[in-house]
Amino acid sequence: MKLVQITTGIGEDAKGKSIKNPEGMLKTVRKDLGKTFGGYTEVSTRGGWVNDSGRLVEEDTRTYQIATDAKRDTIITAARRVRDTMQQHSVFVVISNKAELV
């Protein structure tokens, strides 16, 4: 089994606008991850990133920790669904200590 982490922002969308209903979006994410992997642990986190105009954006985030035997393609597909549901430019994914943006 491997440890997977998927982290998404919940403050601003990919266009820099405030997310109006993050809880509704997170509910969709939770349902999808539960269905795909059978469960997860959700951790409230905080992070920052520099946008295209050079501004540091700091926001609340959520990290989902998942123990799974799923193939990498399944994990990346799920991470893309998180990204799209949360209207993000990318999400941070760690699979067995190897990090990437999806």
DSSP assignments along 38-92, one per residue: S--EEEEEEEEEE-TTS-EEEEEEEEEEEEE---HHHHHHHHHHHHHHTT-S--E
pLDDT tens-digit readout, 69-96:
999 999 999 999 999 999 999 999 999 9
- What is the distance between the alpha carbons of residues 66 and 52, in angstroms, rounded to a whole number? 31
The domain over range 2-101 is classified in CATH as 3.40.50.410: no
The pLDDT score that the predictor gives to residue 49 is 84
The low-confidence residues of the chain, meaning pLDDT below 50, are none
For the question of whether the overall pTM of this predicted structure is more than 0.75, the answer is: yes
Query: Rounded to 5 degrees, what are φ and ψ at 13?
Result: -85, -175
Domain ranges of the chain: 2-101
Query: Rounded to 5 degrees, what are φ and ψ at 11?
Result: -95, -45
